Each structure stands twice: as C-alpha cells, then as structure tokens.
Amino acid sequence: MKTRDYLSEDGLFTSVISRPPLDTNLQKEQRSNTVLTKLSEKPSLVNRRANEPSGAHLTDTNVQTLWHSFRSNTTMHGLKYATDMSNYKLRGGLWILALLCMAGLLIYTCVGLFNKYTQHTTMSNIKVELVNQLPFPAITFCNLSPYKRSSLRPDAAMEHYLLTISRMTNFVPPLDYDYPIYSNLSLPLPDEWIHNVSFTVNDLFYACVDMQNVMLNCSEVLTPTLTEIGLCFTFNSEEYIRSHGPLVTSTTGSAKSLAFYTHIDQDEYVYNDNLAAGMKIIVHDPNEEPDTDQGFFASPGFSVYASLTLTKYKYLPYPYKCAGGRYCLDTDVEGFQSPLRYHDMYSRNACIRECKYRYLVRMCGCQAPTDTGPERTCTFREYAECYRLHNRGGYLQNIAFQQTCQCDLPCEFNVYGTSVTSGYFPSKINEIFLNNAGFENLRRDYMEVRFFFDTLSYLNVEYMPEYNIEKVIATLGGQMGIFLGASFLTLSELVEFLLMALIVCCKRFTKRRRQ
C-alpha cells in the first residue's frame, strides 16, 4: 500500500492512498512455485526424467551426464572428490590414489574370502556339556596269556614253538619244522581251536558287581570277543546292547563304581609276547572294534581304579574335510550300507582290521585263529613263517596297500578316556579273611578293577563351516564399509548407472544407423 500527496488548486495538499491490484489465485500459485524452485536444490536426474516423455530422457541424456549424476549422488565415499579436477588437481589425485588402494585391499580380501569359502574350511566348537546321565562304554578284558596251559596241553615241540614266537626267541635255537618231532606243527587246525584252548569267562572272573552294589552273572554280561591278542571278554558289547538295550549311568564317584574281580591264574600261563602277568583292558565305544594297541595294563595284587571321561566328536560330511584331510563317512545318513564284510557296525578300527586281514590272506593264503573271516586257519608253521612276519612288518611297511583301504572316520563317534590309579589288593585284614574263605595266592593271581565317572559331563567337539552364505555376506559388507564406505545398495547404484549407460549407448547407436 502506497500514499502520495498532491497540491490542489486551492493550495491544499491532498493524500491519495493507492492499493496494489489483488492477486488472483493463479498468480499466487505461480509465485509460490517460483520461490520453492529457487530455494530447492537442482532437480535430480530421476525428477527430470519424470517430467519428460517416456523414453525421451535416455535419448537426450549422454553418458557424461549420467556419470556426473552418479558421482555426485552415490553413497561411495570419496568418489566425488576424486573426479573433481576443476580447482585442486593434487587433491583429486590423492583421492584417486586412496580410492585405488582401498579398492585393491577390498579385492584382495574378497579373493581370500572366496578361496576359504570354496575350500570348505571348518572350525571347531569345543564345550563341556552337563547332563543327567551318561552312556557307559564297552570294556574289553584280555588275559596276557593267549592260551590256557591245561587246555592246550603243550608237549616239548609245542613248548619250543611257543618260545620261538615269544619274547624269548633270542634265547632259544631256531626251530626246524622238517624235523619229525615238529611234524604236528604243520597239521591243519580245527575252526574252533582258539575257543578250546583259551581261558573261559568263569576262569577269569569270579565276581562282577554293578554301580548299585548288586552282584551280576559274569557269564551273562561278558561277551567273548576275538581280538588280535586272543580271546577276550567284553562288558556292554554291541551284542549285549542289542538284547538288553544301552547301558547308562547317573552315578559318579569310586564308591558307586562298576567292579570286576578277576583271577589271573599264572599257573596256566604259556610263553607269549608279554613277559608280564595280568590283563590288557581296553575302554571303547560299544560300536567300535577294540583296539588292542590301546588300553592299559592291570596287574594282580592291585586294586585298579579307572576314572572315565567321554568326548563326543561330530564332523561335517562331504564336501567338508575332517582330521587328516580326508572326508568322514556319514553312517547316520538314510540308506547307508557298511562297506565291511565281517563286522555288523562300521568303525575305523574294524575297517583297518579287515584291510590287514585281506593283505595277510593274500600273502599267506590262510588266516590266524583269531580272525573272523571265512578262509582256512593257518597251521602253526604257516603262522610263524608267514602270517606273523607279514603282520608285524610287511603290512606296516606297505603304505600303498594301506591307502587303498580308505578307512575313513565316521562323522560322529565317541572316545572314552581313562585315568588310572592303583593300590595293593587286598589289604592285610581282608587277605586273612579271604584266605580263611578258601582263596589262595591272592597277591599273585587276583585283582580288583573299578570303573566310574567323576562327573556327569562330557566334552563336545563339534565342527562347523568357517564360512557360510550368511557369514560371507556379513564379512563382505563389513569389508566394503571399512575400505570404501559402501554397502550393497552402493552396488545397486553402480549397476543402475552401468545399465542406463548401456541403454543410452545402444539407443544412440541405433539412432545413428537409422540416419
């Protein structure tokens, strides 16, 4: 609103107020749009495309414009400074160098990540699990004398033969099998010979007591088992579990332990590889073949306490590798068929034993009395001159044949460990009482063996993929953020730019060809 003064004819001043013309609604809207346009930033490429006819923006836009829009609006750090050479070229060069270095480190990291993912590397997760009950292991007892003297009834020729295959072989003259006195050593042996000349369960065990201090029938809970060192007896065997179910325990401590009272009877011993008297005891999983190279010895005259521990291993199946760089065998997969011929359950020890059996049968044409295969049993002479020599030397040195066996570990298996302590058995007062009860030579022939868990826990060793899809994506996103300040959305911006540039080039090329 404006006021103006005018001089009239009579000499007086007159004030006239002039008002601007009223704006129309259309004029107000136009002025408002003009102000907003000035205040707002430059419209983006997407907004300009929205105001243009369909398909016209890509024809009229060149790659340089697209690149300028991409570098100005991308979320990748440093790109707009590296491409701006208008004022400070040195600054732009430093930004280019920084971007190239970061991009190189990102590529190097991604290549390493890809290699690890394709190599199917694993990592172990080890933890202690507390449980209410634990599966009890199988326990195999082997007398250190493979034969019982009164059952074998060795003559002078047999005594000489046993000495030549024992630890005393260096102290006796070699045996001439062609001499008539040794002719019986070349005769074939019956199939059940090993069972007829070995100790029986009643010979070795006079009492078995469970964790609740209840007497057990030893002949029912102990199963005869043929091993490489003779006929042994297994508590909680696979055969026993099939009939009675798995044995578990919820008690701990030596006071409530599984106890066996054994009678060694050294008067029935014969010459063999062991100079000691006692028992070889192997604690193993019921599904495993007892490995006679492991275990511990228990001697008569001692009370042996074996504290048990359990470790559960779980490897990943193919394509992940387990111990030794080989693949484990998934025995729990549906439709799995064991490759073993003479064992019901697959285990690595059983596979190695069958592999050794095939090698020795091929070299000697017969099997040992302790083998479970269908071949004929070797004579004493064949066993000493061929089978025993190849078993101790030839097979162990033939690495190429062992590699053909392919005895892989199962993907899941249990390992039981033992910690053994001992004391004199029996005490003086108990020895007097047992002597009065009819037991003789207690310190020479008898011993006590107890088994128990210290705690209701086990060590769980589980292998997991070191890199899976989720971890690869997370690691890649983190590396992109550290080196370039980018994300997967930044990749989508780059892909969008490349696609739009390709479309522009194709349309321009097509337009030129038409002209």
pTM for the predicted model, two decimal places? 0.74
Find out whether 353 and 322 touch, Cβ atoms under 8 Å.
Answer: no
Q: How many other C-beta atoms can be found within 10 angstroms of the C-beta atom of residue 212?
A: 8
- Please enumerate in sequence order all residues whose Cβ is within 8 A of that of 331, keeping only pairs 6 or more positions apart, or say none: 338, 346, 410, 411, 412
Across the chain, which distance is largest between two alpha carbons, in Å?
175
pLDDT per position as a tens digit, 276-285:
999 999 999 9
3-state class (DSSP) for residue 50: helix
- With vertex at residue 162, the alpha carbon angle to CA 161 and CA 164, rounded to the nearest 5 degrees, is 65
Q: If you compute the radius of gyration of the chain from its CA atoms, what whole number of angstroms results?
A: 44
Amino acid identity of residue 350, one-letter, is A
Q: Which residue has the higher pLDDT, 511 or 374?
A: 374
Domains along the sequence of the chain with CATH: 78-119+469-502 (1.10.287.770), 128-148+198-329+413-464 (2.60.470.10)
Scanning the structure block, which residue is given the tokens 């008690």?
251
At residue 47, does pLDDT exceed 70?
A: no
Cα separation, 133 vs 456, in Å, equals: 6
In whole angstroms, what is the distance from residue 471 CA to residue 492 CA?
21
Q: What pLDDT digit, counting tens, does each position of 109-127 carry?
A: 888 888 888 888 888 899 9
User: What letter does residue 41 receive in the DSSP assignment?
Assistant: -
Which of 148-157, 165-174, 227-236, 398-407 shows the lowest mean pLDDT across its residues? 398-407
Indicate the residue type of 412: E
Per-residue pLDDT reduced to its tens digit, 142-189: 999 999 999 999 999 999 999 999 999 889 998 899 999 999 999 999
CB atoms within 10 A of CB 84: 15
C-alpha count within 13 angstroms, C-beta hemisphere, residue 434: 15
Output the six-digit token pair for 464.
Answer: 């997991």
Q: What angle do CA 362, 363, 365 make, to 5 degrees?
A: 65
What local confidence, expressed as pLDDT, does residue 42 receive? 43
- 137's CB contacts (< 8 A; 6+ apart) are 236, 283, 284, 285, 286, 308, 310, 414, 416
Q: What is the mean pLDDT of residues 441-468?
A: 93
Q: Which of 98-107, 369-378, 421-430, 442-451 has the lowest mean pLDDT?
A: 98-107
> Partners of 227 in the beta sheet?
230
CA distance 169 to 241: 42
Tokens of 456: 């209701």
Overall average pLDDT of the 60-77 stretch? 69
CB 290 within 8 A of CB 349: yes
Segment 309-318 shows an average pLDDT of: 94
CA separation, residue 360 to residues 320, 343, 393 (Å): 34, 18, 11
In whole angstroms, how far apart are CA 232 and each of 195, 290, 447, 468, 475?
10, 10, 17, 47, 55
The pLDDT value recorded for residue 88 is 66
Q: What is residue 370's predicted lDDT score, i.e. its pLDDT?
A: 92
What pLDDT score does 230 carry?
93
Query: For 424, phi and psi rounded to 5 degrees?
Result: -65, 140
Instruction: Kindly report which listed range (124-133, 241-250, 285-294, 325-334) carries the lowest average pLDDT score.
Output: 325-334
pLDDT band at 96 (very low <50, low <70, confident <90, very high): confident
Compute the residue count for the chain.
515
C-alpha distances in Å from residue 229, one per residue of 281, 418, 485: 12, 21, 68
Per DSSP, 109 falls in state H
Cβ burial 256-291 (10 Å sphere, 16+ → b, else e): bbbbbbbbbbeebbbbbebeebbbbbbbbbbbbbbb
